[in-house]
Every structure is written in C-alpha cells, then in structure tokens.
Amino acid sequence: MAGVTHGDIVQITPDAVAASLARGDGGFGRNQRSYYDHPVLRGAHWRWEIIWYFYIGGLMSGSAILAAAADTFGAEGDEAVVRNGRWLALVGAAISPLLLIKDLGRPERFLNMTRILKLKSPMSVGVWSLLSFSGLSAIAVLEELRGRGRVPWLLGGLLPRGPRNLAHALAAAFTGSYTGVLISATAVPVWNSGRRQIPAIFVCSAVATACAAQAALLALRGGSARSINKLERIEFVASLTEGVLLVDYASSAGETGNALFGGETGQRLRANTLVGGIAVPALLNLASLFTKPSHAGKPNVVKTLIAAGLTLYGGYVLRKSLIEAGRASADDPRAALRQPE
C-alpha cells in the first residue's frame, strides 16, 4: 500500500554496467534521471463517480444555458427546449452532489465544504457554484410548472424572467467550466499543460452534449423541426470548436501530452471523441447549417438520434480519458521532472 511501484528498476547487472560504460557516463548509476523511476507526483484518486460528475455536470449546465437562451431569444415552438432544458438541469443538479459526496473519503463531512468560500480553491468555488446552480434550477422548474398552471400557489415571479435566466445561465456556465480549471490548476503535467484549452473544451462539450440530448428528446417526442434545426446549428459550432481545441491541446502539450493523446487512451479519444463524437455528428448536422429553421422539413428521427448518441458518447469518453490520463501522467516521473515552460 506504500505506493511502491517498480518501473525500470535500475539493477547492477553486467549488461547494465556495459551499457553504462558504452554511453560513456562514467559507469553505472551516474546521470540518474529520477529516483528509481518512482512517481514524483500523486494523481487524484477520482474514479467513476467523478467521471460521471464531470459528464453530467456538463450536460446539465449546457441544458440550462440552452433553456435560458431559448427562453430569452427563442421563437414560438422553442418552448419545448426551455422546458426540457430546465428539467434536464434539475435532474443533473440532483444527481451531481450525490456523486460528489459518494467520492469523498468521509462522505458524512460533505457539509464541511460549506464552512468557507475560498476563491483560490476551484474545488471550493465549484461546490458553491454547484449549490447555486441547484437552487436556480429548482426555481426554473417551479416557474415552468407555474407558467403552465400546475402550481398556482407558488410565490411565483420570485425573480423577474430576465435576471432569472441570466443568473441560471451564468451559474450553469461556471459549473460547466470550473471542472476544467479544477484539473488544469494542479501539479499533474498532462492537465496543467492543457490549461489554455481544457476549460474551453469542457464548455464546448457541455453545450454540444446538451444540444444532442435536447435534439434527441425533441425528435423522439415529435417536437418542432425548427427547434431541432437550431440545436443542430449550435451543436455544430460547439463541437467543431471543441475539436479544434483538442487538436491544439495535443500539439502544444508535446511529449507531456502522451498520457492523453498517446497509446490506447489516445486511440480511444481519437476514435470516440474526435471522429465519432465530433466529426461524424458534424457531417450529419451539416445540412442544418444550410437550411433556415423555417424551412426545416420533417425531422429525420433516425439521423438525429444517431448524431446525438455519438456526441453523447464522445463527451463521456472525453471526461473518462482526461481523468485516467491524469493518473498516468502523475505516475510518470519523466513528465513531472521535465522543466515547465
């Protein structure tokens, strides 16, 4: 349990000595690059709970942003986007804290998170942002119900519509992007070398997966073709931006990026996120870009569902790969001992 790992153990064998002499580094054991290849850093212990927390966090914040935007700027027919978005946000806001709590070493002490607000700690600001988001999502759904006469007794109009949407969207944007800051601002090389891209990638993926989920819901429940068209346009831009940022991340991280972009992790990320989750859905959605929403014909349910499924899966693989790459990177002494730029 002491974290002893056996990398390339340096042992004094005749071969090792001969190799060392051949290198001309003065004999065996000089010019060591690390201490027996033991990890220098420690990775985050995060497992499936946090992968899903990142994923659902993105999905729910993207949904809330879309709902707020549709409520503010949308036309007739976009009501379903508002309604579904608010409900998705609330469901997400109900699940995420449970995942966070489950992940703690001492779950019963979750409320210690609210002892203080610490601006320097992304974990602290994140928890506060999540809690505000949950509250605002509950208000949004209550307003939704009140608007349809389901709960006439409500205090209603607690906040006027404009500020309410704005606050919900802002809390959502912060909740969806702080997780990117959370991992970027660590000593883990593969994460901090992506600090320029990861938070933006998370925001793009949040919006893209939310568009996909919403479009799928609309397609399944016979929703408006215009709304689907609009969602597909937004998804197109968001996921292409995500793709460009991922490529930029891969090229700027260099060797340090190997934990994420190399080997099996890299292959899985390229296949499921870059190609499957971004390029293919973008091609499928391409037509929507050239059709005005008012000219959108009957929604192609099968196409929409395929595109949505691929996007949603790609977003999941993105979170999973990033979290697992963080551990691999922390365990790699070469990455940790490389001079930072």
Partner 1 sequence: MIDDASPDMGFFTDVTLCIGCKACEVACKQWNQLPSDGYALSGNSYDNTGRLSATTWRHVDFVEQFDRINPAESRWVMMSDVCKHCTHAGCMEACPTGAIIRNEYGAVYVQPDICNGCGYCVPACPFGVIALEPDQGVAQKCTLCYDRMKDGIEPACAKACPTDSIQFGPVEQLKERARRRTEELLARNVPARLYGVDEDTSVGDLNAFFLITDRPEVFNLPPKPVLPSTYQPVAYLSGFLATAALAIVAMQAFRSR
Binding to partner 1 in span 189-248, by CB under 8 A: 191-192, 195-204, 207, 230-231, 233-234, 237-238, 241
Where in 80-119 is the site for partner 1 (CB under 8 A)? 103-107, 109-110, 112-113, 115-116, 118
Assigned token pair, 219: 């397609």
Assigned token pair, 285: 């959605």
Least Å from the CB of residue 74 to partner 1: 4
Which one-letter amino acid corresponds to residue 228?
I
**What phi and psi, each to the nearest 5 degrees, are found at residue 128?**
-65, -40
Task: Specify the residue for token string 């192609």.
Answer: 300
Assigned token pair, 239: 């996921």
How are the residues of the chain apportioned to helix, strand and coil, as percentages rounded to the nearest 5?
Answer: 75, 0, 25
Region from 130-138, 143-151, 213-221, 333-341 binding partner 1, contact rule CB under 8 A? 333-341
User: Do 30 and 12 touch, CB atoms closer than 8 A?
Assistant: no
Sequence-separated (6 or more) residues with CB below 8 Å from residue 17? 27, 28
Where in 283-302 is the site for partner 1 (CB under 8 A)? 292-294
Least Å from the CB of residue 104 to partner 1: 5
Region from 17-25, 86-94, 143-151, 274-282 binding partner 1, contact rule CB under 8 A? 17-25
How far, in Å, CA of 217 to CA of 3, rounded?
Answer: 46
How far, in Å, CA of 70 to CA of 271, rounded?
Answer: 32
Least Å from the CB of residue 224 to partner 1: 12
How far, in Å, CA of 243 to CA of 208, rounded?
Answer: 11
Least Å from the CB of residue 289 to partner 1: 10
Assigned token pair, 102: 């489950």
Among 13, 19, 23, 29, which residue sits at the site for partner 1 (rule: CB under 8 A)?
Answer: 29
Least Å from the CB of residue 153 to partner 1: 31
Least Å from the CB of residue 151 to partner 1: 27
Binding map of partner 1 across residues 43-62, x = CB under 8 A, - = no contact: xxxx----------------
Where in 142-181 is the site for partner 1 (CB under 8 A)? 169, 173-174, 177-178, 180-181
Cite the beta strand spans of the chain per DSSP E.
Answer: none
Confirm or reject binding of residue 65 to partner 1 (CB under 8 A).
yes
Least Å from the CB of residue 118 to partner 1: 6
Task: Specify the residue for token string 């946000």.
Answer: 89
Confirm or reject binding of residue 184 to partner 1 (CB under 8 A).
yes
Number of residues that bind partner 1 (CB under 8 A): 104
Q: What is the DSSP letter of 46?
A: -
